[in-house]
Structure 1
Amino acid sequence: MSSLGDKHGATGINPKKLTYEEQVKLSAEAPNLGVHIANRLVELGCTTAFAVPGDFNLLLLDQLLKHPQLQMAWCCNELNAGYAADGYARKKGIGCCVVTFSVGGFSALNAIAGAMSEDLPVIVISGVPNSNDYAQNRVLHHTTGMTNPASGGFNQQLRCFKEVTCYQATLNHVEDAHRLIDEAISAALVRKKPAYIEVCCNLADATHPSFTRPPVPYMLPHAHTNPNSCQAAVDAVGEVLDKAIKPVLLAGPRLRHGHERDAFLELAQSSKYAVAIQPDAKGMVPEDLEGFIGLYWGSISWPCVCEIVESADVVVCCGTVWTDYSTVGYSLLLRPDHIINVGDHRVTVKSGATYGCITSEHFLSALAKRVKPNPTAVTAFQRMSTPMPPPERQGPNEQLQVKVLFKHIQEMLTPNTCVLSEVGDSWFNTQKLRLPRGCAYEMQMRYGSIGWSVGATLGYAAACAPSVYDIKACDISQLSGTEGMHQGKEATEQPNRQAVMAESQHTRVISLIGDGSFQMTCQDVSTMLRYGLNPIIFLINNLSYTIEVQIHDGPYNAIMNWDYEGMVKCLNNGQGRLWTAKVQTEEQLEDAIAKATNEHKNHLCFIEVIVDRDDCSKELLEWGTRVGAANGRPHSPH
């Protein structure tokens, strides 16, 4: 059975398993379509769904609410609900968002495209029009006005989701709903991609005999490996590695799922090769691993890593993904005839033979038993590299520098933290952090949608909650009267129900978000407050879309300056566990971090960091220049 755990080896919430009969009893009635969907999600450990109500999904939401182990988190908009499901799936292995037809689904489309790009199983459930309307030529609200089936009828949303999901199903009758639901969820889990399910608004409470049967447990067998092909690949690669002088292992983001990561670590430990990572594989390989040399990102790699990787005579690439972003505008100097590619169920040896029908897990584990130790590249790296001294302390009235901010973030990291980095300069600064074993790291490297991190913070933080967490009990909007109202940032007396999660949360999320990104999706900070989540959000205020400035500057990259600290207080409206600060010096930053990690550890802590507009990392300058040049290549007729 395939693991549904996150890339760091944890599985987040592990709710007490109920028998199907217990679930039915607790649901107070025989399961209907909506309850059946809830049962299937909970069975897989997806115990929180992120939703926005709309008239086509209201009956469905009523049924989902009946399941005692499925918690509903009500988001401010569908885009953030999709991002939250993305963040949740990164921790739990599967996520879910529930939207309404058209006006909701199209809003979520961008977030689901990101999950598609990032290989995340997210189940999108959309309420759609009454099943009777599909056979009638009438115009409905929330449609484009085209009713002719030849023009798409009510299928415009489904057709759009075909481009960003691996499976689509419309439940417009209950006879085959059981099968379609299982096929959709299975496809998402096997292919590591989102799946899309439409539920007609009048069928959410419909029953069917298939819903009363205990569900067949999900058994996700490992992809088949041809033993002869695998052995031939091991022999061929082993022969190449035996002759190699300075072999290197390179880990990519597709080691996130299943057991490939464990097999990769087995190979790293047995071979003693130097181990480097791609940017979005950060956190997948322990950084205290013997042989770990750090980040390989072309010309903006960690010191000396680029030289070691690009001078290696053999680079074994495992789960790697090559884009213009990860290659710094296609500027890498890796030679194809030095690369052994492992992934996508095949192994390619340099520029020659390809061996198919092989899983990475089986191949890497077998290769680990075949190779001979060769630490030559590690020794060369140790001779070349020298530790980088931390930035010097700034004066009491000196403008805070970004590199000083990250010096202090480094000191915050523990095995019980997760660094979540927004698109922008935070990418390059968080890549320099040394993660202690157990510390998680997340970024949206391939899709790169600014604003992703707010919803992803919500989802990841919710996924970190222990099994005692009850999002309904934490929901401060359900407090009667003025309970919980009018409590400022220094408040310490809060409703017990709201503190359930914060006081028992295992992993605390540290999010680094730029001001431009925050303006895209800031509303769902209120959702974090509503449910008592306690991330630490560093809002880096530099008055611009910094990453676009470095790729191609123009007046359009300047943004309106907000009072971000004041806005978050406004979103809270005195109701939740919130502590805020605005810092401009190192001394103020130290004080804010001390309070956020001690007396306000159960609060959502929002720290607005004021920095100079032109204070960005040299890595962003280099990367932006090269990516901009790649974007500006003259047209070449094909």
Structure 2
Amino acid sequence: MTSSIQHNFGKQYHDSLPQLGHSLAQLLQFFGAKRLYGVGGDFVANLINALEPSLTVLPSSNEMHAGFSACAQAEVAGLGVCLTTYTVGSLPCISAAALARTEGLPVIFISGAPGENEIAQHSLHHTVHPHTAWNTDLNAALNAFKALGIRAERLQGQRHTGQPNIAAEQCLALMTHAYLHRQPVYIEIPRDLVQQPTQALSLPPSLDSLQGQHLNLSGAELIAANILDKLSKSKAPLLFLGEKLRLNPDLLARLVKLCHQLQLPYAVTWFAKGMVDESDPLCLGCYNGVFSHTPGKIYIETIADYVLEIGTAIFPSDTNNAFGSQTHAIDKHQNKTMLKGTAHREQDIIAVVTLLELGLQHRLEATTKQPQLSPQAAPQDAVAVMGENIEAQQSLSYANLAKVINVAQATLPQPYVFIPEIGNAFFASFELNTLSTELGRSFLANPWYAAMGTSLPYARAVADELAYIGSQVPILVITGDGGFNFQANELINLQKQHANVTILYMRNNVFHLGKAGNAPIYHCNAEGFDPKLLIQAYGGQGHYCQTQAQLIQTLQQTATGGLHLIEIPTSVETQCQSDISRKLNSYIGFKNGDPVASAQWQALCDQA
């Protein structure tokens, strides 16, 4: 039977039209996706079948974990993809979508949906629809994603018999938006469209061709000249790199190279930890005011006479700015230039950096000298000092955990990729030495949105990317028992991956960070629970460490490969907490009106 499209445009055109599922696979590959994370279901079955020949469609233990893995994929591979079924699958991804929006991650959330031929005056399964309703609401998931400020659309099928649908073009527009603006998008695809023909696309030759918008702002030469002038007058300059550069590795590499050409010290924000190699002699570490333990703190707070701040947040968050303690020296520095990156994909920063590259070294080589850093300011010296301070038989706790891991890492053939869980584990991890890895990142967490239960979904996405690039870099997950219990079901996928992952399981049986009483809600564990037996059920090995020497020896053994869990009993006593967690608990208590905590916080702020 001759179709209307064939009758309208001819057989040759009709036969050239691809199925939507094939176009979707082509688009995802064009944007660099190699794998998807998701959970199957009836409304998404056609999509899985269409995508599977071209892409690796990986299972997750639940939809929220699929979303978190896609977030980690976006961090390390430039784009993440999550695939779920209608509403019961897509709505659990809301937490991950909020994380992606907050962290500025290009994640494509794809959901199957009822076919357009199924819509009638009756409710469908998976529909958010109470039995007392007078109308069916098919847009619950669309509206939920939109409520987060995320661009969300349902693809549309053929609206005229003589015209093909433009669903593939809709997908291209949405994915382009995610890629260019580094923001998540949500695409709902009616299942009857997957195998229908859609108008063919003519894709650009490369992703660079999508840029389209060029820098329309002028004045870069004036900004560069001002920076050149201030640098030429400075005796102790500092480059402060922000978290916005995490997803622009080319620009980050140019800035680090510039620092080496000029012997210019640099530091990074809290949210940018793991973005650079902290063993670089010019790197002063990760800085956040009174919460900092970076070896370069003295130089940053008392020596630097000019700060060039690049790529930090437009609107500063409390977490990244010393929780409003007014102790962040760079925030208060009187001689500073800030390049926030207000233009599309940091084009304004790139324009200024290009001019600096052209003129800076020639202009300053006669006047700029390498800053004289004290021994305490050299990151490579910090590892040696920590090694000398190890007390082999001393009990482990959050207070000394990072020190011990740093010593162990220094003995390994390859450094770790650290993935700390939100909570005490995360804040203790800021004292870790993050070194250069083949992944390009050595520390992945989500400190701003702070959704607990992300470390294992992150670990599996990192393991997938490492396997893809053929790297044997070990992964170290650091978690409390509360955070671990949020996500232990994701172990099944780490087992299937044969991932090289070691999990440090810090056990105190409570949700301790911010704990303000003894209500049962804080008690996250049972005394009889044995995580070592659990990890064995997933094909891994369980270990138990109580002393610093035991942990170093065990880390040396487990870094060679496989899935491992190291149980470490730790006290909740104040002296056993990391310095950052003690200060943060004071901040939380102050915000909640606790008088003792308020006094402690005031004393901390007075250090400014």
Q: TM-score, normalised by structure 2?
A: 0.81
Partner of residue 269 from structure 1, selected from 260, 272, 289:
260
For residue 530 of structure 2, what is the aligned residue in structure 1?
Answer: 563
Moved more, 72-81 or 56-65: 56-65
C-alpha contact 1:226 1:358 (8 A) present in aligned 2: no
Say whether residues 1:536 and 2:502 are aligned partners. Answer: yes
Q: Deviations over 1:5-33 (max 9, x none)?
A: xxxxxxxxxxxxxxxxxxxxxxxx99522
Q: Deviations over 1:476-497 (max 9, x none)?
A: xxxxxxxxxxxxxxxxxxxxxx
For residue 125 of structure 1, what is the aligned residue in structure 2?
Answer: 110
For residue 9 of structure 2, what is the aligned residue in structure 1?
Answer: none
Question: d(CA) in 1 for partners of 2:88 and 2:403?
Answer: 44
Partner of residue 181 from structure 1, selected from 171, 178, 194:
171
For residue 559 of structure 2, what is the aligned residue in structure 1?
Answer: 597
Task: Trace 1:142-153 onto structure 2 (pairs within 5 A).
Answer: 142-145=126-129, 153=137
> Which one-letter code corresponds to 1:191 in the other structure?
H
For residue 319 of structure 1, what is the aligned residue in structure 2?
Answer: 311
For residue 379 of structure 1, what is the aligned residue in structure 2?
Answer: 372
For residue 28 of structure 2, what is the aligned residue in structure 1?
Answer: 41
> Which one-letter code corresponds to 1:513 in the other structure?
T
Partner of residue 363 from structure 1, selected from 348, 352, 358:
352
Question: d(CA) in 2 for partners of 1:270 and 1:375?
Answer: 11
Question: d(CA) in 2 for partners of 1:151 and 1:240?
Answer: 66
C-alpha contact 1:293 1:381 (8 A) present in aligned 2: no
For residue 583 of structure 2, what is the aligned residue in structure 1?
Answer: 622
Superposed displacement of residue 346, structure 1: 5.8
For residue 325 of structure 2, what is the aligned residue in structure 1?
Answer: 331
C-alpha contact 1:514 1:539 (8 A) present in aligned 2: yes
* Pair 39,245 (structure 1): closer, same or farther in 2 beyond 3 Å: same
* Pair 165,461 (structure 1): closer, same or farther in 2 beyond 3 Å: farther
| Structure in which a larger fraction of residues adopt helix | 2
Question: d(CA) in 2 for partners of 1:56 and 1:168?
Answer: 18
Q: Deviations over 1:504-562 (max 9, x none)?
A: 5443321111111111122111111123223222221122223223xx45533332233
Say whether residues 1:420 and 2:386 are aligned partners. Answer: no
For residue 95 of structure 1, what is the aligned residue in structure 2?
Answer: 80
SS of equivalent to 1:345: coil
Q: Deviations over 1:174-208 (max 9, x none)?
A: 61111111111111111111111111122222223
C-alpha contact 1:543 1:613 (8 A) present in aligned 2: no
SS of equivalent to 2:276: coil
> Which one-letter code corresponds to 2:312 in the other structure?
T
For residue 227 of structure 2, what is the aligned residue in structure 1?
Answer: 237
Say whether residues 1:401 and 2:397 are aligned partners. Answer: yes
Q: Alpha carbon RMSD of aligned pairs, Å?
A: 3.3
SS of equivalent to 1:196: strand
C-alpha contact 2:543 2:565 (8 A) present in aligned 1: yes
Question: d(CA) in 2 for partners of 1:115 and 1:466?
Answer: 23
Moved more, 48-57 or 332-341: 332-341
Identity within the alignment, %:
22
Question: d(CA) in 1 for partners of 2:124 and 2:388?
Answer: 61
Q: Deviations over 1:124-163 (max 9, x none)?
A: 00011121344x3322222221799998831121111124
For residue 287 of structure 1, what is the aligned residue in structure 2?
Answer: 278
Question: d(CA) in 2 for partners of 1:255 and 1:557?
Answer: 37
C-alpha contact 2:398 2:424 (8 A) present in aligned 1: no
SS of equivalent to 2:312: coil
* Pair 631,100 (structure 1): closer, same or farther in 2 beyond 3 Å: farther
Q: Deviations over 1:70-114 (max 9, x none)?
A: 111111111100111111111111111101111111111101111
Partner of residue 301 from structure 1, selected from 279, 292, 295:
292
Task: Trace 1:385-534 onto structure 2 (pairs within 5 A).
Answer: 387=382, 388-390=385-387, 392-394=389-391, 399-410=395-406, 411-412=408-409, 415=414, 417-438=416-437, 440-466=442-468, 505-534=471-500
Moved more, 77-86 or 403-412: 403-412
SS of equivalent to 1:237: helix
> Which one-letter code corresponds to 2:523 in the other structure?
A
Question: d(CA) in 2 for partners of 1:448 and 1:306?
Answer: 26
Task: Trace 1:1-20 onto structure 2 (pairs within 5 A).
Answer: none
> Which one-letter code corresponds to 2:426 in the other structure?
W
Task: Trace 1:24-173 onto structure 2 (pairs within 5 A).
Answer: 31-67=18-54, 70-134=55-119, 136-145=120-129, 153-164=137-148, 166-173=150-157
Question: d(CA) in 2 for partners of 1:129 and 1:203?
Answer: 10
* Pair 382,399 (structure 1): closer, same or farther in 2 beyond 3 Å: closer
> Which one-letter code corresponds to 1:139 in the other structure?
S
Say whether residues 1:578 and 2:540 are aligned partners. Answer: yes
> Which one-letter code corresponds to 1:520 in the other structure?
F
SS of equivalent to 2:292: coil
Partner of residue 610 from structure 1, selected from 563, 569, 575:
569
* Pair 507,113 (structure 1): closer, same or farther in 2 beyond 3 Å: same
* Pair 616,403 (structure 1): closer, same or farther in 2 beyond 3 Å: closer
> Which one-letter code corresponds to 1:178 in the other structure?
A
SS of equivalent to 2:337: strand
C-alpha contact 1:166 1:191 (8 A) present in aligned 2: no
* Pair 310,224 (structure 1): closer, same or farther in 2 beyond 3 Å: farther
Question: d(CA) in 1 for partners of 2:518 and 2:240?
Answer: 37
Q: Deviations over 1:234-268 (max 9, x none)?
A: 12333333344533211111111233212321332
* Pair 346,423 (structure 1): closer, same or farther in 2 beyond 3 Å: same
Superposed displacement of residue 429, structure 1: 3.0
Superposed displacement of residue 336, structure 1: 6.5
SS of equivalent to 1:202: helix
* Pair 539,35 (structure 1): closer, same or farther in 2 beyond 3 Å: farther
Q: Deviations over 1:296-354 (max 9, x none)?
A: 1110212564443344443222111331111222113432654322123369xxxxxxx
Moved more, 556-565 or 197-206: 556-565
C-alpha contact 1:166 1:187 (8 A) present in aligned 2: no
> Which one-letter code corresponds to 2:200 in the other structure?
S
* Pair 303,173 (structure 1): closer, same or farther in 2 beyond 3 Å: closer
C-alpha contact 2:294 2:431 (8 A) present in aligned 1: no
SS of equivalent to 2:323: coil
Q: Which runs of 5+ in 1 are unaligned?
A: 1-28, 348-355, 468-503
Superposed displacement of residue 37, structure 1: 1.4
C-alpha contact 1:229 1:358 (8 A) present in aligned 2: no
Partner of residue 241 from structure 2, selected from 242, 245, 251:
251
Question: d(CA) in 1 for partners of 2:347 and 2:554?
Answer: 51
For residue 197 of structure 1, what is the aligned residue in structure 2?
Answer: 187
SS of equivalent to 1:36: helix
